Amino acid sequence: MKHIAAAARVDVSTVSLALRAHPSIPATTQQRIRSVAERLGYRTNPLVRALMIQRRTRSASPYHGLIAYVTPHALDYDWRRVPSHASLFEGAQQQAHSLGFDLEHFSLTTPGMTDRRLSDILRTRGVCGLVFAPLIEPRAPFDFDWASFATAALNSPLESPPLDCVGPDHYQQMRLAFARCRAYGYRRIGLTIRRNLSDVAEGRLLAAYNHEQALLPVRSRVPALIEHAENSAVAPPGTAAWCNRYRPEVVLASTGADGAAWLRLLAKTRPKPALVSLAVDEHDGEIAGVFINAVQLGRMAIDVVAGHILRNELGPLRARRSHMLAGEWHDGRSCPPR
């Protein structure tokens, strides 16, 4: 800090306060000092900062810092009531505490909040790492001071900047579901998928489905039903007509917590197909499908961020890295062996 103070012509204490975005230092002075620090290649070591906090608070337990769990959801979307989202946070919280970090939730959609304002708040609070919750809908690139944080995104790869992404192995997920259906004697296997979900999965669900379809005899192939329009219906509006036309023996779909509603819908079609969920929230024995362990995904995200913090690797990557978790098959009455 001495070199920064000399270059900026201020005291070392002023540099220390400015780099922590302390309100006693004018914003223009903070920006000038940060610019000098960046030019000189200075990077705050989050572990040193955490050690100073531990000393000031006289805490005997190891403390490595504060990680923020950032949710970009609309105010009317109660993510804590969605099992998969609540499980992601639960896993992240468990792993953060086990590694000596605190995890705190921050919302990007509280009244008056902007990306830049939250970024400043997090820096002032001494946050060293960020975990971004899954995006529910597309949005503009985040405007954060990325150089101040170790960051990972859950489920939804961010377009810019390149960051670590932790999520399900969608390709394996589809191939597992397809293989189990074939093993159970189903020949005509269909898929219904919303365009936004396909985009979040970066096309891997459709790629795996098309790969498996190409290996089937022509008479057994079923084209996927892709719903492009956004709507609040449980299933894509054309599902019944698609079933009646292509007569799948089993339907693969991302049902979430709406498995019962899907079963009622499919029972009204002529083929009355079996149902396999590509995202089983919990195993109650009713809905067969692929279980994605959201608690484990949350833990993985913390492991990624903690690793960056321990190596003092802050800011975006040169190229995005993906960390994927394989799904597990759960039997259910919705897809019995034939």
Q: Which CATH number covers residue 237?
A: 3.40.50.2300
- Answer whether 33's CB lies under 8 Å from 18's CB: yes
Task: Note whether 100 and 213 are same-domain residues.
Answer: no
SS (H, E, C) 127-158: EEEEEECCCCCCCCCCCCCHHHCEEEEECCCC
Query: Are both 157 and 224 inside the same structural domain?
Result: no
Report yes or no on 251 lying in a domain. Answer: yes
pLDDT of residue 8: 76
Give the separation between CA 286 and CA 335, rounded to whole angstroms. Answer: 9
**Which amino acid, residue 131?**
V
- Does the residue 150 lie in any domain? yes
What is the side-by-side order of every strand in the sheet holding 250-253?
Answer: 225-227, 189-194, 250-253, 274-280, 288-291, 328-330
Residue 48, pLDDT score:
47
Asked whether residue 143 is domain-assigned, the answer is: yes
Tell me if 330 is assigned to some domain.
Answer: no
**Single-letter amino acid, residue 320:** R
Can you list the positions of beta strands (E) in 11-126? 65-71, 101-107
328 by Cβ neighbours in 10 Å (0-12 / 13-18 / 19+) ranks as: middle
Is the Cα dihedral 134, 138, 143, 147 positive or negative? positive
CB 9 within 8 A of CB 41: no
336 in any annotated domain: no
190 and 246 share one domain: yes
Whether residue 127 is found in the same domain as residue 232: no
Co-location of 192 and 204 in the same domain: yes
Asked, for residue 331, whether it belongs to a domain, the answer is: no
pLDDT in the model for residue 22:
64
pTM of this structure: 0.80
Domain identity same for 176 and 265: yes
- Residues 180 and 193 placed together within one structural domain of the fold: yes
Is 338 among the domain residues?
A: no
Q: Which residues of the chain have pLDDT under 70?
A: 1, 19-23, 40-63, 138, 229-232, 282-283
CA–CA separation, 316 and 145 (whole Å): 10
- Are the beta carbons of 166 and 295 closer than 8 angstroms? no
pLDDT of amino acid 53:
46
For residue 13, the model assigns a pLDDT of 77
**Residue 286 pLDDT:** 92
> What confidence score (pLDDT) does residue 325 get?
96
**Domain range enclosing 32:** 2-39
Residues 98 and 186 in one domain: no
Per the structure block, which two tokens stand in for 127? 């946050």
Q: Would 123 be classed as within a structural domain?
A: yes
Determine the Cα–Cα distance for residues 203 and 174; give it in Å rounded to an integer: 11
Q: Are residues 197 and 252 in the same domain?
A: yes
Domain count, the chain: 3
The per-residue pLDDT for 294 is 94
Residues 34 and 56 in one domain: no
